[in-house]
A and B are shown apart, each in its own frame.
Chain A
Amino acid sequence: MGLAVPRFWREIPYRYNLIGSRCKVCNRIFFPPREVCPYCRRKSLGKMEEMKLKGKGRLITYTIIYTPPSNFENQVPYAVGIVELDEGPRITSQIVDCDPEKLKIGMRVEAVFRKIQEDGDTGAIYYGYKFRPVGEDEDKGETG
């Protein structure tokens, strides 16, 4: 599963900086950003604005991967989860800096900047967000 370089390049704003979009008609927030609000449809044309999401949220559900796609062998076992951001949108992401066995549904997580994938030793390196659990005492700093 290689990402195409042009596609990745177009997605840099939301992959690096969690840029989503907000519908100014109904106030719903979307990630990845949308051109049109699926609820307001035509009424939202020209009323979608970019919005930087803070990268804080909670873990809704997760699974532990033991049989990875190629290039992920050295990370096994690792967790992939669905995170609900404080602003509302849900994101599927790898959950890192944790023992996957100790993850708990509902725990606080924050976005971190990591390597998402590399095309072997010779290809491009793709960066973007992942999430890590945060203790109550360390919920600070803009890492997203």
Chain B
Amino acid sequence: MMNIGIVSYGAYIPMNRIRIEEIAETWGRNPDDIKKGLNVFEKTVPSPDEDTATISVTASRYALSRVNIDPKDIGAIFIGSESHPYAVKPTSTIVGEAISAVPELMAADYEFACKAGTAAIQNCMALVRSGMIRYGLAIGADTAQSAPGDALEYTASAGGAAFIIGKEKVIARINCTCSFATDTPDFWRREARKYPKHGGRFTGAPAYFRHIIGAAKLLMEKMKTKPEDYDYAIFHQPNGKFPVTVGKRLGFDRKQLEQGLLTPYIGNTYSGSSPLGLCSVLDVAKPGDRILMVSYGSGAGSDAFDITVTDEIENFDRDKAPTVRELMERKRYISYAIYAKYRNLLYWE
């Protein structure tokens, strides 16, 4: 069997944070109800000069700094996001240029709500397996927008993760991946609209839970594994509650989820969500550790991954770039007024 998997990874989140109190008090809501209801305490906010392209570049440079790979050997860059800076003009070429991987490069931007980043990982795996490329760079990143006062405002945040996929010096082998997708209108944003719409309670059972459970079960059937075979499990984290609930329903306990559960302190980074959870697990993982990751994208679908950490992680320069924990500690709090200014919620002529 060819060993295909993660050769390196990098994470990035902006340093601005806003507390739930700050948002709740602006809209006359009780912050404790919201914190308890969502299991979210604060979220990241991009600076006015940050977007999905800058987050993707930073995460990719961190990934490259941990390994000795010539960027020219990266044959494909795929970026999954629902906040590409341009409606027409790829983010992937900006990243390609910024890491010097151009011009012999397959580049494409992916869209599938919050799961386009994991779709990018799957496509890089396929290209490596077929021998079409030596390395692929898969990125999931977002600067999620939410309408002022909407329930999404408590969680919609910014961040991203980049993975170099290859078959040489693999630190985390991807044993299997599979997907589960149906046409489910739980959350959408029409062309040229700034803020998304969501189907309220419809986002839970038929959407998030059905697809994550479907993909996770499919994967465990294929691999003949049980929840207790995994050291870590990461599920898409639109809030701090859903991943814990879906984990419990599948038979995972809190200890398996803890290391990869970031939403309570960074918010929902959309396409960055489960990928950042995976980065956080890889920051501490040891050879032989087994990881289950399941993403979720509205509309709707889930990609599941069965991953085993290899001995190669012992030779890997994790210290050459910041860990997720270090990025989470690098922070400054902002008020709702500054948040509104940064996120362009104020208009003037």
Contacts and interface: CB of A to CB of B under 8 A. Distances in A.
B218 interface: no
Contacts of A96: 47, 49
B15 interface: yes
A125 B50 CA distance: 11
Contacts of B15: 97
A143 B58 contact: yes
Contact of A140 (B47, B57, B100, B322): B322
Contacts of B322: 138, 140-141
A130 interface: yes
A61 to B, nearest CB: 22
A113 B332 contact: no
B248 interface: no
Interface in B44-87: 47-51, 53-54, 57-58, 61-62, 64-65, 85-86
A62 interface: no
A74 B53 contact: no
A12 B61 CA distance: 17
Interface string B92-103: 001001101000
Nearest to B57: A113
A112 interface: yes
A109 B58 CA distance: 16
Contacts of B65: 140-142
Contacts of A75: 47-49
A141 B61 contact: yes
Contacts of A130: 49
A116 B49 contact: yes
Given A125-B86, A141-B65, A114 B49 contact: yes
B330 A138 contact: yes
A134 to B, nearest CB: 10
Contact of B100 (A17, A94, A125): A17
B342 interface: yes
Interface string A121-144: 000010100100000001011111
A75 B321 CA distance: 27
A99 B50 CA distance: 17
A128 B205 CA distance: 44
A1 B94 CA distance: 23
B198 interface: no
Q: Interface centre among A112, A116, A142, A144, by most B CB within 10 Å?
A: A142
Contacts of A142: 61-62, 64-65, 320-321
Contacts of A97: 15, 47
Interface string A81-99: 0000000000000101101
Interface residues of A, number: 23
Interface residues of B, number: 30
Contacts of B58: 112-113, 143
Given A141-B321, A142-B65, A115 B51 contact: yes
B50 A115 contact: yes
A59 to B, nearest CB: 18
A138 B327 CA distance: 10
B130 interface: no
B54 A115 contact: yes
B150 interface: no
B326 interface: yes
A132 to B, nearest CB: 9
Given A74-B342, A142-B61, A127 B319 contact: no
Nearest to A140: B320
B48 A17 contact: no
B320 A141 contact: yes
Interface in B21-52: 47-51
B316 to A, nearest CB: 14
B62 A113 contact: no
Contacts of A16: 97-98
B87 to A, nearest CB: 11
Contacts of A99: 332
- Give 8 nearest A-B pairs by CB, closest first: A142-B65, A141-B321, A114-B49, A113-B57, A115-B49, A16-B98, A74-B48, A74-B341
Interface of B: 15, 47-51, 53-54, 57-58, 61-62, 64-65, 85-86, 94, 97-98, 100, 319-322, 326, 330, 332, 341-342, 344
Given A74-B344, A114-B47, 4 more contacts: A17-B100, A113-B61, A125-B86, A144-B61
9 contacts: A12-B97, A75-B47, A96-B47, A99-B332, A114-B49, A114-B54, A115-B49, A115-B50, A142-B61
